[in-house]
Structure 1
Amino acid sequence: MSAPDAWRLLRQATQARVGLGRAGDALPTAEILRLDAAHALARDAVHSPLDVDTLAAHLQEASGLDVVRVASEAADRAEYLQRPDLGRRLAEDTELDAGPDGWDLAVVVADGLSARAVQSHAAGLLAALLPRLAGWAVAPPVVATQARVALGDDVGARLGAAMVLVLVGERPGMSAPDSLGAYLTWGPRAGLVDSERNCVSNIRPPHGLSYDHAAEVLAALLTESRRRGLSGVELKDTGAALG
Structure 2
Amino acid sequence: MADFDNPPSSVSINPWDALRRFTNARIALGRAGSSLPTAPLLAFNLSHAQARDAVHQPLDVAALHASLRAAGFDTLDAESAAPDRDHYLRRPDLGRKLNDESAARLRDYAAAAPAAFDIVFVVADGLSAYAAAGHAVPLLERMRAKMTGVSIGPIVIARQARVALGDGIGELLRARIVVMLIGERPGLSSPDSLGIYLTYEPRIGKSDAERNCISNVRPEGLGYDAAAFKLHYLLTEATRLKLTGVKLKDDSDMLLQAARVSGSALAP
TM-score range, shorter chain: over 0.9
Match of 1:12 among 18, 21, 27: 21
Tell me how far 1:138 sits from its aligned partner.
Answer: 0.4
Alignment pair present for 1:81 and 2:89: yes
Quote how far apart the aligned CAs of 1:6 are.
Answer: 4.3
Counterpart of 1:198 in structure 2 is 212
Question: Aligned partner of 2:124: which letter?
Answer: A
Larger Rg belongs to: 2
Report 1 or 2 for greater relative contact order, CA contacts < 8 Å, sequence distance ≥ 6: 1
Deviation at 1:13, TM superposition (A): 2.1
The alignment's C-alpha RMSD in Å is: 1.8
Counterpart residue number, 1:142:
156
1:215 aligns with 2:228: yes
Question: Normalising to structure 2: TM-score of the pair?
Answer: 0.85
Deviation of 1:5 after TM superposition, in Å, equals 6.3
* Unmatched 5+ stretches in structure 2: 1-7, 258-268
User: Structure 1: which amino acid aligns with 2:248?
Assistant: L
Q: Does 1:120 align with 2:120?
A: no
CA distances 1:166-193 after superposition (whole Å, capped 9, x unpaired): 0000000011000001100101001111
Percent identity, aligned pairs only?
53
Shift of 1:104: 0.4
- Identify the residue that residue 121 of structure 2 maps to in structure 1: 107
Q: Deviation of residue 23 (structure 1)? A: 2.4
- Distance across 2 between alignment mates of 1:197 and 1:163: 10
Q: Which residue of 2 aligns with 1:59?
A: 68
Contact 2:194–2:217 (8 Å) recurs in 1:
yes
Query: Does the C-alpha gap of structure 1 residues 90 and 8 become closer, same or farther in structure 2, counting only changes over 3 Å?
Result: same
Is 1:132 aligned to 2:123, yes or no? no
Count of residue correspondences: 241
Q: 1:242 to 1:236 in 2, by over 3 A?
A: farther
Opposite residue 198 of structure 1, the aligned amino acid is N
**1:180 paired to 2:194:** yes
2:39 is aligned with 1:39: no
Determine which of 227, 234, 238 is the counterpart of 1:225. 238
Paired residue secondary structure (2:49):
helix
SS in 2 for 1:69: strand
Distance 2:255 2:125 in 1: 27
Alpha-carbon spacing, 1:75–1:241, altered in 2? closer, same or farther (3 Å): farther
Given the superposition, is the C-alpha separation of residues 132 and 24 from structure 1 closer, same or farther in structure 2, using an over 3 Å criterion? same
Instruction: Give the distance between the partners of 2:213 and 2:16, measured in 1 at CA.
Output: 32
Distance change (3 Å), C-alpha of 1:22 and 1:4: closer
Unaligned runs of 5+ in 1: none
**TM-score, L = length of structure 1:** 0.94
Residue 194 of structure 1: how far off its partner (Å) = 1.1
Structure 2 CA distance, aligned partners of 1:21 and 1:230?
Answer: 50
SS of equivalent residue, structure 1 residue 93: helix
The CA distance in 2 between the partners of 1:234 and 1:109, in whole Å, is 25
Deviates more, 1:2-11 or 1:36-45: 2-11
8 Å Cα contact 2:76-2:154 kept in structure 1: yes
State how far apart, in whole Å, the 1-side matches of 2:210 and 2:234 are.
Answer: 13
Which whole-Å deviations, capped at 9, do the CAs of 1:147-184 have from their partners, x for residues lacking one?
11100000000000001000000000011000001100
CA contact (8 A) 2:13 2:31 kept: no
Q: Is the 8 A contact 2:14 2:31 kept in 1?
A: no
Helix, strand or coil for the counterpart of 2:101?
coil
Cα pair distance change 1:165/1:242, threshold 3 Å: farther
Letter in 1 for 2:21: Q
Distance apart, 1:100 and its partner CA: 2.6
